[in-house]
A and B are shown apart, each in its own frame.
Chain A
């Protein structure tokens, strides 16, 4: 079930470049449902389900495993850790947060007093309870990464919040897609990509090696339905969003329209997304080699890149129906 798959994935550590545990979790969930699985040099997990029709297309779907975090750059004599952001972290909302490292070391991320300056990453530090550099180094070394402590909770009947919702909700969606596909005519390749949050880096090599006929990025998008936020014109609970454009990509019309048609055929509500910022794996697919038709299906998500990113599970379920129909149609 989508909700259970999602909960499993939201509980796993995985900042950019350290997605290993997420890949292992995905493997355990879908091993029985795919024909092959491999991990490449960038840490992408690439899974494949063969199509029944030998003239069928090879369709790539990509959802990124990594989420934003903090990398330790220095440890002071009193055992406090200094950090640099990994991906688009807001210093302002990072202070006074529970964070964890890969080995389970817990910490509090906090901000030193500001002397009239605007808050920046250099003002933040992590307290792991150590009293000296020597003690801290038993647990953490420069280069280790922390993330907002994995967590999730349900809001009302349909919504869920988590620091890793971007983009584990789409990892869950892609897992479920691979599970539900029943002898598809087209070959479906799932890329659980690495390092999206630092610049769409994993999908670049995965798209090259997969060399698909068509690709779809699966990612969260921003919202326009909370106090004083009007744009983009995207609402939670009104369906997944078919992307027209963001900073990284203008969707290939044929793919965009096929996604809209799949939603209509599946009888599922859908929104049209024009995002004046942001980027996602679809662009890496579209721009690989000599070019590949590509689009993106987005899950509306409030408070993206915060410790409580909120989605509506009805949008995620709708997206699954759209993708199943899409694979059947194209």
Chain B
């Protein structure tokens, strides 16, 4: 499945069904239906038996879910009240188009027009309580008939290649990881590999809690999209990672200190294979690797990320060569684990 298709499917945390169906079908074709299952948290776990005895069991994981919105209710005027699912800066959502529910009803996140604002309004950051989603409903009943409380909304952003090898899309975090896992699944490896497509990462690493215990691998490689901050608005030491400079290899983030021998092995493999890579130069973010590293008796773990600008917005940007580097380094590791 191509990255465009994966990014344009809506899968806000807790409502990953449409993406799961697409992934399930492809995974069954590649691994054999008997090797693919869905657990109670909605994670897809696909197993590929290795060719050799005595190799470690590696789990490659990525989360299916993306940040989005959920409807709380509606005003008398028929405007939907909502809150974010996962972490989204309310400053980046005003006037953005969204689609709601399984029918993908079009909507737009509204706010007071500039003509009507006072100087004081202009200085104020509009929070979720001040914003609403307009679906063109005529009143409250009409709005709720189409989008009842609990309906999800997702950014409506077409996948757009631009520049030389860059792409702008929603949900690059973490469809890049899902994409590479489906590509990696095409081959068999020396050791056993479980591919875990996870739910509910954006609301607190929740899908991987169960998956970690279910899989209990020897080694966990987590594929992610991570925040790149190479925007020139801070000193370069706060860049964390830069699009176009290769896959970012993590030594530590807020939820894990990665085992040094695995971190070093991944760096050596990248050097040896001529795979573009960079250290993730900052201790930021949390991800599912934590739950694999510390499920049951524990596993070695590392995270390999594609640098993404404007992450957790409706339009994130990454460099396709970094997506390829993430694939290449993960493949090199699976061949040499």
Contact = CB atoms under 8 A, between A and B. Distances in A.
Interface of A: 16-18, 40-44, 71, 73-74, 76, 82, 84, 86, 122, 141-143, 195, 198, 201, 204-206, 208-209
B282 A73 contact: yes
Contacts of B238: 122
B115 interface: no
A212 B275 CA distance: 45
Interface string B230-263: 0000001110000000000001100011111001
List the 6 shortest-distance A-B pairs measured between CB atoms, nearest first: A205-B298, A143-B251, A17-B257, A209-B297, A74-B237, A84-B283
Contacts of A122: 238
B296 A209 contact: yes
Given A16-B257, A198-B257, A82 B237 contact: yes
Nearest to A122: B238
A24 to B, nearest CB: 15
A73 B236 CA distance: 11
B17 interface: no
A40 B294 CA distance: 11
Given A17-B252, A40-B298, A209-B296, A84 B282 contact: yes
Contact of A71 (B251, B256, B295): B251
Interface string B276-320: 000101110000000001111111100000000000000000000
B298 A42 contact: yes
Contacts of A41: 218, 259, 293, 297-300
Given A16-B257, A17-B258, A17-B260, A142 B281 contact: yes
A141 B281 CA distance: 10
A90 B294 CA distance: 27
Contacts of B218: 41
Contacts of A44: 298
Contacts of B256: 201
Nearest to A210: B297
B298 A86 contact: no
B252 A86 contact: yes
Contacts of B236: 74
Contacts of B282: 73, 84
Contacts of A142: 251, 279, 281
A205 B294 contact: yes
Given A17-B258, A143-B279, A198-B257, A76 B237 contact: yes
A170 to B, nearest CB: 21
A73 B259 contact: no
Given A40-B298, A205-B295, 12 more contacts: A17-B258, A17-B259, A17-B260, A41-B297, A42-B293, A84-B282, A142-B281, A143-B279, A198-B257, A205-B297, A205-B298, A209-B297
A74 B279 CA distance: 10
Nearest to B213: A208
A198 B252 CA distance: 11
B237 A73 contact: yes
A122 B284 CA distance: 13
B247 to A, nearest CB: 15
Contacts of A73: 237, 281-283
Contacts of B295: 205
A122 B251 CA distance: 18
Most chain A beta carbons < 10 A, residue from B236, B237, B256: B237
A71 B252 contact: yes
Contacts of A86: 252, 257
Nearest to A102: B260
A204 B259 contact: no
Nearest to B252: A71
A195 B281 contact: no
A84 B279 CA distance: 14
A299 B108 CA distance: 60
Contacts of B296: 205, 208-209
Nearest to B296: A208
A208 B297 contact: yes
21 contacts: A16-B257, A17-B257, A17-B259, A42-B259, A43-B259, A44-B298, A71-B251, A73-B282, A74-B237, A74-B281, A76-B237, A122-B238, A143-B263, A201-B256, A201-B257, A204-B298, A205-B294, A205-B298, A208-B296, A208-B297, A209-B296
A17 B253 CA distance: 12
Contacts of B279: 141-143
A322 B238 CA distance: 50
A300 to B, nearest CB: 28
B237 A201 contact: no
Contacts of A208: 296-298
Nearest to A205: B298
Nearest to A288: B296
A82 B297 CA distance: 34
Contacts of A195: 257
A151 B259 CA distance: 26
A16 B279 CA distance: 19
Most chain B beta carbons < 10 A, residue from A141, A143, A206: A143
Contacts of B300: 41
Contacts of A74: 236-237, 281
Contacts of B283: 71, 73, 84
Contacts of B251: 71, 142-143
Nearest to A20: B260
Most chain A beta carbons < 10 A, residue from B251, B263, B279, B296: B251
Most chain B beta carbons < 10 A, residue from A18, A42, A82: A42
A92 B42 CA distance: 46
Contacts of A84: 252, 282-283
Given A41-B259, A71-B283, A142-B281, A204 B294 contact: yes
A74 B235 CA distance: 11
B175 to A, nearest CB: 27
Contacts of B293: 41-42, 201
